[in-house]
Amino acid sequence: MRRRTTLALWTIFDERQRPLLSRPATDVDLAWLTQADAQRLIDDMLTTMRQAEGVGLAAPQVGQGLRLAVISPDVDQTLPAPLVLVNPVVQAIGLDQEIGEEGCLSIPGVYGLIQRARQVQLTATDRTGQPYRLTATGLLARVIQHEVDHVRGVLMIDRAERITHGQNRLS
Ligand code: NI
């Protein structure tokens, strides 16, 4: 079995890394997704997220400009396994919004209060290329929106109404 690899986390504090974190990522080619290097990247992102004790991680955060993200099953008890989001699209359901505190692995030490849709529908493809749809509320809805923002080049500090000094888990 291959050794587990932890990837370097890119941060906005590094001038060479910030541009990739701030621009829209590229669609994942579903033919490439079946290849070993794509599956390895997903495995390494999962390992990196766990190692960093994050609740989510998007590919640009490890230097890959791809519309790909993972979310920890710790976020929601309805998740039986980590969620892999390939080419994700998110849509708000209803008009209800909630303010909550978020942190980001790409902006260490900074937390912010961010208004997000309370309920969303995620449309994405899983790691085998199967399309799926998921309705989420609460923390899972928030983390999905945070990760989909990442693949669009939007960072939580772009949305934060107020910067805080919280202790929340990062994504
Ligand atoms: Ni983040």
- Whether residue 167 has pLDDT greater than 80: no
Percent residues over pLDDT 90 in the chain: 90
Residue 29 confidence (pLDDT)? 98
Report residue 31 as tokens: 């033919």
Mean pLDDT of the chain: 95
Q: Which residues pair with 132 in a beta bridge?
A: 124
d(CA 57, CA 41): 12
Question: Given pLDDT bands bounded at 50, 70 and 90, which one contains residue 8?
Answer: very high
pLDDT tens track for 51-88:
999 999 999 999 999 999 999 999 999 999 999 999 99
Q: What are phi and psi for residue 120, nearest 5 degrees?
A: -140, 160
Residue 163 confidence (pLDDT)? 85
Task: For the chain, count helices (H), then strands (E).
Answer: 5, 8
Residue 112 confidence (pLDDT)? 93
147 CA → ligand 1 middle, Å: 6
The rounded Cα 27 to chain-centroid distance in angstroms is 15
**Amino acid identity for residue 149 in this structure:** D
60 CA → ligand 1 middle, Å: 10
**Number of residues that this document lists for the chain:** 171
58 CA → ligand 1 middle, Å: 7
Report residue 86 as tokens: 């390939």
Nearest to 143 by CA among 109, 108, 103: 103
98 CA → ligand 1 middle, Å: 18
pLDDT tens track for 17-51:
999 999 999 999 999 999 999 999 999 999 999 99
Give pTM, 2 decimals.
0.95
Contact 95, 78 (CB under 8 A): no
Catalytic residue among 53, 98, 102, 147: 147
d(CA 35, CA 12): 30
- Whether residue 168 has pLDDT greater than 70: no
Q: What are phi and psi for residue 35, nearest 5 degrees?
A: -75, 155
147 tagged catalytic: yes
Report residue 161 as tokens: 């109404």
